Chains A and B, each alone.
Chain A
Amino acid sequence: MQLNIKYFGRIAEITNCNEETFEFSKATISKLLELLFAKYPELKTKDFQVAQNQEIVSLETMVSGEDLALLPPFSGG
């Protein structure tokens, strides 16, 4: 299935884009992250949460939706 992944904050700086599409077979979010880590090794060292279909989900969740987002915490104020 085709996934659309959005990147926020520092994550978007590492991937050098705000979003991209990925071809992915049915598996967990953490499997998907392994693919992303292979493409962007620096991501491995970063803290972030994953949202699927506009909802924050755990890494054990199956990838089922088309929209994903990688969301780092911001500290600035």
Chain B
Amino acid sequence: MSRYNRHIILSDVGQQGQDKLSRAKVLVVGAGGLGCPVLQYLAAAGIGTLGIIDFDDVDISNLQRQILFGTESLGTNKALAAKGRLEDLNPTIKIEAITNRLTFKNALSLFQNYDIIVDGTDNFATRYLINDAAIKCNKPIVYGAIYKFEGQVSVFNYNNGPSYRCLFPIPPKEGSVANCSEVGVLGVLPGIIGTMMANEVIKIILEFDHVLSGKLLCYNSRTADISTLKVNRNQSEFDNVLDYEKLTDVYENESCEVSIKDISEEELSTINNIQFIDVREPHEQPKLEMKNCIEIPLGELEGNLNLLDTDKAQVVFCQSGIRSKRAAELLMKEGFNNTFSFKGSVLAIIESQKIKTR
């Protein structure tokens, strides 16, 4: 087949290798900064079945790095938009778009259908969920994660190698480590890390030596330094997750059934008696000039519920709208039923310029 000619003429791949690729089934969790380059190269390489799971829609701020999407995809579900682009890139493969959130309930049945799971998510809760569900299903994980100018890549649960929990046994508190939408990321970085992840997927399928298992590759895009650190397997981190059902508190954020009410700036005028809650850390800028606003960082909210007036509608905001959802979820669970998460939070306010900042 001329489409894969450069693979087929490559020693160590050949027609046999290309056949392995076309028989392979790979699930990519998250079609964002990492997921896009992973999907692009895996589709081009002729991976026979590609699953894409993402519940989010394409936003204009994604286009700086999420290279499968264009202006026409704005507002479309990411898994569907990616499928559309990839079908043009390679119509000979099967692409399955899943528009739901990955949850503790659907993860096992979904993972069963694939050979390799790619972790391109943007939060710890889902990363631990992927780790635990993949161990339950005995599937290898190709992992990538980024922070500003740095990235990590590894392969977990592969040939008796370590898992994500062997590297980071204790899940960090949500909100304690910022993600891209809160601190920014240089667009090319997820491109580099995602491409390394696609490379590891292909090495696993082609049964190459030197798969990046038992090692964590750390890349710094400013210094071009690469450090590869050895990670040892800790059997107890495998035994513990076999009791998968008992670990749901870690994935709480994903499996929560409380539905969060979003409110936009325009809709604010429809509500009387509002209490605004800024759940950002004290150092985060800009501050907003608004009446009835109290500052309680997300991590301290639960211990300070007494500061809130139960007669008022609570409108929670943060920098980008991620932590405000968590805060709204917490308040709803605590019985503050008239709670809203401010859509787009401070970033949206800066853009509209209707509320003063200082």
Contacts and interface: CB of A to CB of B under 8 A. Distances in A.
Interface of A: 6, 8-10, 18, 46-47, 49, 51, 54-56, 69, 71-77
A9 B219 CA distance: 10
B223 interface: yes
A73 B120 CA distance: 14
A18 B151 contact: no
A68 to B, nearest CB: 11
Chain B facing A: main interface SS: mixed
Interface of B: 30, 32-35, 119-124, 127, 144-148, 150-152, 167-168, 170, 172, 176-180, 185, 190, 216, 218, 220, 223, 225, 227-232
A77 B150 contact: no
A9 B216 CA distance: 14
Given A54-B229, A73-B145, A77-B119, 12 more contacts: A10-B147, A10-B178, A47-B170, A47-B172, A49-B167, A56-B167, A56-B231, A73-B168, A75-B122, A76-B147, A77-B144, A77-B179
Contacts of B34: 77
Closest 3 pairs (CB-CB, A-B)? A74-B145, A55-B230, A74-B147
A76 B223 contact: no
Contact of A73 (B121, B177, B227, B228): B177
Given A10-B177, A56-B230, A77 B152 contact: no
A71 B150 CA distance: 11
B227 A77 contact: no
Contacts of B146: 74, 76-77
Contacts of A6: 227
A74 B177 contact: yes
A42 B227 CA distance: 25
A69 B227 CA distance: 10
Given A56-B231, A76-B145, A77-B33, A49 B150 contact: no
B66 to A, nearest CB: 10
A75 B35 contact: no
A74 B220 CA distance: 13
A51 to B, nearest CB: 5
A41 B9 CA distance: 57
A47 B147 CA distance: 14
Contacts of B172: 47, 73, 75
Given A10-B147, A10-B177, A47-B177, A74 B152 contact: yes
Nearest to A6: B227
A9 B222 CA distance: 12
Nearest to A53: B230
Given A73-B145, A74-B145, A77-B120, A8 B179 contact: no
Contact of B229 (A71, A73, A74, A77): A71
Contacts of A8: 150, 218, 220
Most chain B Cβ neighbours within 10 Å, of A8, A71, A74: A74
Contacts of A47: 168, 170, 172, 176-177
A9 B148 contact: yes
B59 to A, nearest CB: 15
Given A73-B124, A76-B179, A77-B122, A55 B144 contact: no
Given A47-B168, A76-B180, A9 B229 contact: no
Given A74-B150, A77-B33, A77-B34, A51 B229 contact: yes
Contacts of A71: 216, 218, 229
A49 B230 CA distance: 12
Contacts of B185: 76
Most chain A Cβ neighbours within 10 Å, of B127, B150, B231: B150
Contacts of B231: 56
Contacts of B228: 54
Contacts of B148: 9
A65 to B, nearest CB: 12
A9 B176 CA distance: 13
Contacts of B150: 8-9, 74
